[in-house]
Amino acid sequence: MNILVLGSGGREHALVCSLASSPRAERIFVAPGNGGSAPKLVKVELDEMDGAAVVAFAEANEVGLVVIGPEAPLVAGVADAVRAAGMPCFGPGAAGALIEGSKQFSKDLMLKYEIPTAEYAVFDEEAAALAYLARHPAPLVVKANGLAAGKGVTVAETDEEAADAVRACFAGRFGSAGDKVVIEEYLTGPECSLLAFVDGRHMVSMVPAQDHKRALEGDRGPNTGGMGVYSPVPIVSELEQREMIALMQKTVDALISEGIDYRGVLYGGFMLTATGPRVLEYNARFGDPETQVVLPLLESDLVTVMLACSNGELETCSLQWRKGWAVSVVLASAGYPGSYETGKPISGIEAAEALDGVTVFHAGTRRDDNGTVLTNGGRVLNVTALGSSFEAAREQAYRAVDLIDFEGKTYRRDIGERALRGRSAWD
């Protein structure tokens, strides 16, 4: 069948590469895509936010499955338009995507259904939020309520940082996403992500992953979209994994109770506290860069799994996972997550991919008229390596990183370093 993937980041390149390995895939259209290539890949110009345009393209090109990568088209209801046209679609409708599109919605859902999370308060006026901060000293977490491209969360270590974050939201730094502000209790412990396939009734969890959100080594600096990730997570105990899976199932049950037919991926971001896992956030789609380590470990046919989710038949699928580990290091443009330059030629990608077990997923890249790959974003490449041990995968990823070059190449050299030291590294 023909497949249409919406999106342009590293997540979408990883999705395309995984889908292309399926014998069921004929052509894979990606809109708009990036500088990455893959077998069966056809890049097309299409407005991913326009549900009618997506439907028209899918009908004209005999598309049998639409896969929506980013959160914005999901919140905009593109999946609803595709399903209304009678096409299989992987991704929740607007009602389900609200679990990411509104932090207030997700927090209220957790409170209503007794899903453990950080204590919180919601404000739509700056003065009231600042008054709350005066009564609740830092550390705190300040979040823009809506979608802010992964940049709307501030982990405030000081009262001044918390107040500045509140003011930034109401001053319009994140557009309408900051019209409301959620202020949360600061939780401590390792963070962990658990993604699950959902078909409206059933849920099947994937392998856990651990992202590195801070821009600088030692987990310092501003939050980013993610500077590196690995999977599975060696510090997660069997009990914690069972508890996270149970909380994801409880979330799916809550959505069902709310009358929401959720089909696609549900992402749970967890804090592994001393009293057990607590939910930090939900995403309504594959995480980025978690996808770049989770999918390379998936042995099952992704097309089959996505169709099962779309058709409410996930109970017929049994996921198979490769033994071993995956580690991915993000190569970013100098200045990210602030301002940065683009258009820098990239070399060494082929040499990196010649290493055993290495795949380079494109994120912020494009190709010029001569086919040269250029930087075209803040997060440029995801250098992913598989290994029989966590240490081997990590070492191979950094070997590949050393072979790639572009002006302003920036990356963290400590991805996975804490995990090598064990749970005590988070104490």
**3-class DSSP string for the chain:** CEEEEEECCHHHHHHHHHHHCCCCCCCEEEEECCCCCCCCEEECCCCCCCHHHHHHHHHHCCEEEEEECCHHHHHCCHHHHHHHCCCCEECCCHHHHHHHHCHHHHHHHHHHCCCCECCEEEECCHHHHHHHHHHCCCCEEEEECCCCCCCCEEEECCHHHHHHHHHHHHCCCCHHHHCCEEEEECCCCCEEEEEEEEECCCEEECCCEEECCEEECCCEEEECCCCEEEECCCCCCHHHHHHHHHHHHHHHHHHHHCCCCCEEEEEEEEEEECCEEEEEEEECCCCCCCHHHHHHHECCCHHHHHHHHHCCCHHHCCCCECCCEEEEEEEECCCCCCCCCCCCECECHHHHHCCCCEEEEECCEEECCCCCEEECCCEEEEEEEEECCHHHHHHHHHHHHHHCECCCCECCCCCCHHHHHCHHHHC
Question: 228 to each of 95, 260, 292, 379, how far by Cα in Å?
Answer: 31, 33, 10, 10
Q: What is the pLDDT at residue 137?
A: 95
* Alpha-carbon span 239 to 245, nearest angstrom: 10
> Strand pairing of 89-90 and 120-123?
unpaired
The boundaries of every CATH 3.40.50.20 domain in the chain are 2-93
Q: What is the pLDDT at residue 169?
A: 96
* Alpha-carbon span 181 to 169, nearest angstrom: 7
Q: Using the structure block, give the residue that is written with the tokens 């999977």.
A: 231
Q: What is the pLDDT at residue 151?
A: 79
Q: What is the pLDDT at residue 149?
A: 78
- Average pLDDT of the chain, as a whole number: 96
Q: What is the pLDDT at residue 318?
A: 86
Q: What is the pLDDT at residue 265?
A: 98
Q: What is the pLDDT of residues 225-246, one digit of tens each?
A: 999 999 999 999 999 999 999 9
Q: What is the pLDDT at residue 427?
A: 76
* Backbone torsions φ then ψ of 291, nearest 5 degrees: -55, -35
Q: What is the pLDDT at residue 373?
A: 98
| Architecture, CATH, for domain 125-179 | 2-Layer Sandwich (3.30)
Q: What is the pLDDT at residue 175?
A: 95
Tell me if the domain spanning 2-93 has CATH number 3.40.50.12500: no
Task: Kindly state the tokens that stand for 244.
Answer: 């996270």
Q: What is the pLDDT at residue 387?
A: 97
* Alpha-carbon span 290 to 306, nearest angstrom: 17
Question: Residues in the chain with pLDDT < 70?
Answer: none
The boundaries of every CATH 3.30.1490.20 domain in the chain are 125-179
Task: Kindly state the tokens that stand for 24.
Answer: 């069921």
